[in-house]
Chains A and B, each alone.
Chain A
Amino acid sequence: MNHDPELPPIPAAGDAGSQGCAVVGLYLALLDDLSPEQVQAVFRHLAVCAHCTQELQRLRRTTRLVASLPASEPSPQVDQAILAALAAHREEQVPPRTSTDASIPVSRSEETAGTSQVPRSAGGSSSAGAGSAHRDPSLEPGSSWRRVWLCLACHPVLEWLCGLS
């Protein structure tokens, strides 16, 4: 019944103790991802457990609230700028970079500091921006992170100085 061996087995319907409810509580939060057999097992527990039934109501309300946040899409200016930059990239076929770090968080401060190579609007120099991304040393992860660490290191000193004043 359990497709994921990392999840604990669903307790039997009669096991309505705190341990059983804790396990069922995990499944209640994932109800939409479960197999029909797993859902049936969870509902067999709910039939004899008022606490978990109440918990299901609460979790469903949470899901409904978060799902009610509206969808969105990029503004037209950003849309055109990105497409222009990607098109320029495809045409130029720039040589590959050596860096392979794809999971480094990107911050807006880097962009405002002039490291972003995609222009803010579609007009003008969009193709130049995309092409120069491979030559700008400020895009290297080390430079921006060094700045972040420097700010973090200075923060307690600044706070101490403000406290003195």
Chain B
Amino acid sequence: MTMQETTETHRLETPASVSADAHPLDLATLYERFKRPLHSYIYRLLGSQEDADDLTQEVFLRAHVVWHDLHDHDHLSSWLYRLATNGCIDLLRRRKRLAWWPLTRRHRSSGPGGAGSDEDAAYLPLESGGIPEIFEREHIRLTLASMPPEYASALVLSAAQGLPYQAIAVILDISPGAAATRISRAKRLFAEQYQRLDPAGLGKPEEE
């Protein structure tokens, strides 16, 4: 995604832009406006089109169910992102639990001194087909999957969705200071994990 696309996404996702010109009671309008940024957010976080389809559907189903009881129509963007974030974190935690079960059994059979978290990485296939761009994309997803879900979601909201930390604080229901700290730690954690999983990528210069 280019920087221009990131900026465009950011502009569409700013909470204030929703209450300004969208009809507050029209869910279909809300869906048309937010289906792409929300789906992109979920897809980037989960790495699966099918899961992103399912969760996008669930988010708007949930919105549909509680729509009449929703009093705060001024922060619909943050509310939708919060629903999506909760769903993503729920699914990512479940994935980690599923991965933990066979790993536990394998460690028991192979004894102490195993490869530890490097074996976690082996559980997620790299379907690059030898294409560098796809390899890098899979590598980014692998790195995100290895992070705690709360940090991965904060990182994607900031770096990929282009949301400011103040908006992320509202979505995650934490203070702006806590959001800033979480984003900062998430970026460092990503950098460490990315380097650990891709030693060949160490020291690549930043492209200005």
Are A33 and B65 in contact, with the CB atoms below 8 A?
no
CA distance A94 to B82 in the complex (A): 25
Q: What 0/1 pattern do residues 168 to 208 of B give for CB contact below 8 A with A?
A: 00000101111011011001101100100000000011110
Listed stretches B114-122, B123-131, B155-163; interface member:
B155-163
Are B31 and A30 in contact, with the CB atoms below 8 A?
no
Q: What 0/1 pattern do residues 49 to 71 of A give for CB contact below 8 A with B?
A: 00000000111111111111111
Are A73 and B39 in contact, with the CB atoms below 8 A?
yes
Contacting B at CB under 8 A, from A132-165, are: 133-134, 139, 159, 162-163
Of B27, B61, B94, chain A has the most CB atoms within 10 Å of the CB of: B61
Are A103 and B82 in contact, with the CB atoms below 8 A?
yes
Are A118 and B57 in contact, with the CB atoms below 8 A?
yes
CA distance A68 to B166 in the complex (A): 23
Are A66 and B183 in contact, with the CB atoms below 8 A?
no
Q: B28 within 8 Å of A by Cβ?
A: yes
Of A33, A75, A95, A106, chain B has the most CB atoms within 10 Å of the CB of: A106
CA distance A25 to B185 in the complex (A): 10
Q: Which residues of B contact A107 (CB under 8 A)?
A: 87, 90-91, 94
Are A133 and B65 in contact, with the CB atoms below 8 A?
yes
Are B90 and A105 in contact, with the CB atoms below 8 A?
yes
Q: Which of A68, A100, A105 contacts B137 (CB 8 A)?
A: A68
CA distance A100 to B62 in the complex (A): 11
Contacting A at CB under 8 A, from B76-120, are: 79, 82-83, 86-87, 89-91, 94, 104-105, 108
- For the residues of B in contact with A, the DSSP-based class is helix
Q: B56 within 8 Å of A by Cβ?
A: yes
Q: Which residues of B contact A83 (CB under 8 A)?
A: 28, 31
Q: What 0/1 pattern do residues 73 to 97 of A give for CB contact below 8 A with B?
A: 1110011011101110110001111
Q: What 0/1 pattern do residues 95 to 128 of A give for CB contact below 8 A with B?
A: 1111111111111100100001110000000000
**Residues of B in contact, count (CB < 8 Å):** 80
Are A86 and B191 in contact, with the CB atoms below 8 A?
no
Q: Which residues of A contact B51 (CB under 8 A)?
A: 108
Are B91 and A30 in contact, with the CB atoms below 8 A?
no
Minimum CB–CB distance from A86 to chain B (whole Å) comes to 5
Are A7 and B1 in contact, with the CB atoms below 8 A?
no
What class of interface size applies to chain A in its complex with B? 35 or more
Q: Which of A81, A96, A103 contacts B83 (CB 8 A)?
A: A103
Given that A61-B206, A117-B61 are contacting pairs, would A29 and B1 also be in contact in the complex, using a CB cutoff of 8 Å? no
Given that A67-B159, A85-B61 are contacting pairs, would A106 and B35 also be in contact in the complex, using a CB cutoff of 8 Å? no
Chain A contacts to B: CB under 8 angstroms? 4, 6-7, 25-26, 28-30, 32-33, 57-75, 78-79, 81-83, 85-87, 89-90, 94-108, 111, 116-118, 130, 133-134, 139, 159, 162-163
Would you give 16 A-B contacts (Cβ < 8 Å), ordered by A? A7-B180, A57-B206, A61-B206, A66-B44, A67-B3, A71-B36, A72-B40, A82-B35, A89-B27, A90-B27, A105-B90, A108-B51, A108-B55, A111-B57, A133-B64, A133-B65
Chain B contacts to A: CB under 8 angstroms? 1, 3, 5-6, 9, 26-28, 31, 35-36, 39-40, 43-44, 49, 51-70, 79, 82-83, 86-87, 89-91, 94, 104-105, 108, 136-137, 140-141, 144, 155-156, 158-160, 162, 164-166, 173, 175-178, 180-181, 183-184, 187-188, 190-191, 194, 204-207
